[in-house]
Amino acid sequence: MAKFIYLDNAATTPCDPRVVKAMLPFFTEKFGNASSLHQAGRETRSAIDSSRDIVAKFFNVEPEEVIFTGSGTEADMLGVKGILEGVHDRTGKTHVITSAIEHKAVLNLVYDLEKRGFQITVLPVDKYGRISPDDVKKAITGYTALVSIMAANSEIGTTQPIKDIGKICREKGVFFHTDAVQLVGKVKIDLQEDLIDALSLSAHKFHGPKGVGALIVRKNVPLRPQILGGGQEKRRRAATENTPGIVGLAAALQLCEEYLEKPKDKMVLGDYLVERVLKEISGSILNGHPDKRLRTHVNFSFPGVEGESLLLRLDLEGVCASTGSACSAGSLEPSHVLLACGILPELANCSLRLTLSRDTTKKEIDQAIIILKKVVAELREMSVL
Ligand SMILES: *Cc1c(COP(=O)(O)O)cnc(C)c1O
């Protein structure tokens, strides 16, 4: 029996042991700097090249369209600020469009860009957290350089009409970046078919190592590097390559392929959790879209039960959950995503996020439901007193 039931896979996932195994030689025997011309360096270079090929194939792009970064956050920075500045340098365009439910990696970045003279439009979402492609269309002006809309939300799991948005951007001659950190590894993404110009991903969200991500960016997209120094990543991201991380990222992605083909089990398990909680815990509300969602991501509100207290009580009982994004946890601020969906702060503060992974078992879900029912009942009783 594991020491806890881990239902916080949107915050991070355990690294797959097969991924760790693929990484290990690159800490010790195969430690060369990929920029070195000797055989130790060439060995590492070749491992990075193969990893890049794997990632490129996965998203149906060319290997040189893959830029490895140090995180999903950094991929977002390069994908949003790097493209905006790249386009601005060439055309003078100053406008970026994004949404109110983006990850803080994008939101705080665009607010900072606004302070420095760029124009931003932060689009609203409907009560399910969906962005309307029509709103995107209306927001595009002659000054718009870039649209950045996340593929799937980390807090409520809602997925976006990415291809429709991509199509609008193509028609208007505007570049389209998507933060796909939560979607990658769960749903097939083809950059060409889905009309995406740039996409961010992070290995630790799909059973890879922490501290490595990638920006996939099409050849025709102007990009201003954000980390200057050596000529690594074709002068688009300086710093000695994190070889173990890159090898791990590619290995983790390759393993996902196997799970993409039969995602049914987990879909059923996530839906099973939703069904049972809605039925067995009175007054519970499912946040996010009822079906345009990641099946692994479940977010409830339990009116009268404060989310932080619920989280702490669940933790004592051995269930790891979240009230929203890990970054805003502990800050007691209601989630910006739930507020953007029009959920009142009182109710947003009563939310609980449970996120599954391919490792989650039915036994764990059954156990978690028993504990959740007990804890919610106890907290409701206390709040009545
Ligand atoms: C986790 C996450 C990020 C940040 O990725 P890191 O590798 O942790 O920096 C960005 N966007 C979304 C949607 C995420 O879930």
What tens digit of pLDDT does each residue of 155-175 get? 999 999 999 999 999 999 999
10-residue averages of pLDDT along the chain (385 residues): 90 98 98 97 98 98 98 98 98 98 98 98 98 98 98 97 98 98 96 98 98 98 98 97 98 92 69 97 96 95 93 97 65 87 93 96 97 96 79
The Å distance, Cα 279 to ligand 1 centre, comes to: 32
Is 256 an annotated catalytic residue? no
Query: How far apart are alpha carbons 145 and 93 in whole angstroms?
Result: 6
Q: What is the pLDDT of residue 262?
A: 63
Residue 385 pLDDT: 64
Ligand 1 centroid–CA 202 distance in Å is 6
Ligand 1 probe mutation, 101, 154, 186, 294, most atoms within 8 A of CB: 154
pTM of the prediction? 0.96
| pLDDT at 268 (0 to 100) | 83
Select from 79, 80, 70 the least CA-distant residue to 217. 79
Pocket of ligand 1 (CB under 6 A): 71-73, 76, 103, 105, 150, 154, 179, 181-182, 202, 204-205, 213
Residues 322/301, Cβ–Cβ less than 8 Å:
no
Q: What is the DSSP letter of 175?
A: E
Contact 229, 217 (CB under 8 A): no
Q: How far away, in angstroms, is 355 Cα from ligand 1 center?
A: 15
Atom of ligand 1 nearest to the CA of 202: 7
**The pLDDT of residue 293:** 94
Cβ 128 vs Cβ 119: under 8 Å:
no
Cβ-contact 189, 56 below 8 angstroms: no
Residue having the nearest C-alpha atom to atom 3 of ligand 1: 72
Which DSSP state fits 188?
A: -
Q: How many angstroms from the chain centroid is the CA of residue 274?
A: 21
Ligand 1 pocket test, pick from 202, 204, 355 with the greatest ligand atom count within 8 Å of Cβ, gives 202
**Which domains are present in the chain?**
5-13+263-384 (3.90.1150.10), 17-259 (3.40.640.10)
